[in-house]
Homo-oligomer: A and B are copies of this chain.
Amino acid sequence: MDQKHKQAGLTDETVIQMYEMMLLTRRLDERMWLLNRSGKIPFVVSGQGQEAAQIGAAFALNRDEDYLLPYYRDFGAVLAFGMTVKELMLSAFAKAEDPNSGGRQMPGHFGQRKNRIVTGSSPVTTQVPHAAGIALAAKMDQKPIVSLVTFGEGSSNQGDFHEGANFAGVHQLPVIFLCENNQYAISVPYTKQVAAKNISDRAVGYGMPGFTIDGNDPIAVYQCVKNAADRARRGEGPTLIETITCRLTPHTSDDDDRAYRTADEVKKAKELDPLLSFRTYVKEAGLLTEEREQQLEQEILHIINEATDYAEQAPYASPESSLQHVYADTKGGE
């Protein structure tokens, strides 16, 4: 019998790329925490535990044409869409060269036009109607483009989720709604956020298919998002996909999660860490040797070191540049 990734239509090369990107994402994330704890960067929000969902989803798209509307944990997805480690470090250090915002926004507020990563804000879920709008434009222009929008399960309780999903349903737009369900909205557990068994139960109310899948399995996520993208491109409309994961860190570097969840709970979740299980998978599939793994870690370390040094030394935007880009014709000083 074929290996799981082959069944899903993934080549050996692609699946190992996915693994490498997951590892890169994790190591970058870990470095950010170190930088934060040593006082070098003021803030971290991270995606640890959700990389499989993010990377599985991103790889299922056409990363040269489709649009990504990520939320703040989506380091894996934006890396897969072409943002570089250096660029993410520039954002962490809030430097002028940060392509997301030139140091104007907090880290995790992604945006990069050339890679069709749509600029995001802090108020959650506003990106959901945007994804519908982008898909509407694609439909009008008869371009085979899909928009993928992500959000937390807590955020799926905002009105904008409902309105955006409904709009996409009515107009049968090529949108994929990806809910990264990590069981918590900061300190609020799933049961106090939602009474439905699954977030995907909401799909039927918008006339679209809904799926709940294991967010720790990048191949399962790939497969499900790929099917949704294919459907979308065939003009069959949107899909709601919920990936079940766990947030392996506190909410952000400002949070202490011991106030609301037990160490045991986190420990158990860490046993399901998608990085571990995917490593096992690629090894057992004969795609990753011990040496290559060592080498890969070295390469990644090097990339991250270089990016950190660069970003640390890069200049801030000038204070007066705060005045720029309010309107198309704002030069600053107005």
Contact = CB atoms under 8 A, between A and B. Distances in A.
Interface of A: 157-163, 166, 169-170, 172, 191-197, 199, 201-202, 204-208, 237
A35 B170 CA distance: 39
Among A166, A202, A205, A206, residue most surrounded by chain B Cβ atoms (within 10 Å): A205
Contacts of A157: 162-163, 166
A11 to B, nearest CB: 36
15 contacts: A159-B159, A159-B162, A162-B162, A166-B194, A170-B194, A170-B195, A194-B207, A195-B206, A196-B204, A197-B207, A201-B204, A202-B204, A202-B205, A204-B204, A205-B205
Nearest to A160: B159
A193 to B, nearest CB: 7
Contacts of A197: 207
A94 to B, nearest CB: 33
Please tell me how many copies of the chain the complex holds.
2
Contacts of A160: 159
A211 to B, nearest CB: 14
Q: Give 10 nearest A-B pairs by CB, closest first.
A: A159-B159, A195-B207, A162-B162, A202-B205, A169-B195, A196-B207, A201-B204, A201-B205, A196-B205, A170-B195
A197 to B, nearest CB: 7
A298 B201 CA distance: 52
Nearest to A169: B195
Contacts of A169: 194-196
A290 to B, nearest CB: 47
A172 B163 CA distance: 24
A298 B206 CA distance: 48
Given A158-B159, A159-B162, A162-B159, A192 B204 contact: no
Among A160, A163, A166, residue most surrounded by chain B Cβ atoms (within 10 Å): A166
A208 B160 CA distance: 21
A304 to B, nearest CB: 41
A162 B162 CA distance: 6
